[in-house]
């Protein structure tokens, strides 16, 4: 996506082109009702942290902000080698980082397994390699970053379950990656969906994800 902080007249024209080119894909976008995970992790501490990469972090953060039991969702970068990366650096696709979201949650209210179900149902298309909607590049890959052995066990089991159940018609390419390093993105990226509900990219690509969460999983949706 194009950062709101760098939009001039040319940027407005570019956004108009993005909106036009994305309209068809947005109008035909479908979401899945992923199955309930069979494997879950026991509840341990009062809060846990999970990291998800699923394309533009505006939408990923926006969806998880609407999940009951989520304490906070922070946009940032994970999975690369550059220390303290900037948005401009990550956007080149050369740092190895993915746009990612760190989710702090209360496992007594929502489990990591349930967050995975949200992720695969409405956050990201796990069958497109290094691309989500109009965004292309390794920085937009889908990846799970388990923060404990228990999370990794649950994630691997759920990927196997989704494959066996043929939830998706194409192969799942979402990767499990290992890192505990997470670099928060610049302040203007935080809460972007909530602060900019009429921004064209949000309207076309991300608001439908939040609406899908409300429709598909009303029991865990919060306004």
Whether 111 is catalytic is no
Asked if 189 contacts 73 with a C-beta cutoff of 8 angstroms, the reply is no
Phi, psi values for residue 204, rounded to 5°: -80, -45
Show Cβ contacts of residue 26 under 8 Å, excluding neighbours closer than 6 positions.
133, 204, 205, 208
Catalytic residue selected from 56, 124, 159, 220: 56
Question: If we measure between CA atoms, which residue out of 186, 167, 208 comes closest to residue 77?
Answer: 186
The Cα–Cα gap between 86 and 95 comes to: 10
Within a 13 Å sphere around the CA of 191, how many CA atoms are in the beta-carbon half? 4
Q: Please identify every residue annotated as catalytic.
A: 56
């Amino acid at each position: 996506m194009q950062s709101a902080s760098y939009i001039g007249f040319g940027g407005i024209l570019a956004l108009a082109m993005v909106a036009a080119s994305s309209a068809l894909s947005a109008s035909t976008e479908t979401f899945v009702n992923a199955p309930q995970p069979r494997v879950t992790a026991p509840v341990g501490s009062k809060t846990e942290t999970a990291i998800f990469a699923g394309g533009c972090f505006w939408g990923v953060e926006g969806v998880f902000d609407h999940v009951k039991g989520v304490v906070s969702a922070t946009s940032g970068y994970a999975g690369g080698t550059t220390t303290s990366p900037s948005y401009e650096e990550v956007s080149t696709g050369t740092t190895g980082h993915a746009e990612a979201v760190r989710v702090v949650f209360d496992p007594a209210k929502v489990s990591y397994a349930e967050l995975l179900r949200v992720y695969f149902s409405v956050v990201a298309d796990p069958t497109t390699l290094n691309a989500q909607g109009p965004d292309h590049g390794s920085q937009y890959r889908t990846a799970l970053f388990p923060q404990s052995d228990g999370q990794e066990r649950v994630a691997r089991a759920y990927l196997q379950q989704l494959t066996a159940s043929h939830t998706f018609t194409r192969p799942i390419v979402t990767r499990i990656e290992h890192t505990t390093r997470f670099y928060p993105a610049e302040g203007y990226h935080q809460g972007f969906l909530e602060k900019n509900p009429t921004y064209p990219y949000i309207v076309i690509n991300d608001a439908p994800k939040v609406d899908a969460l409300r429709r598909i999983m009303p029991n865990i949706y919060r306004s």
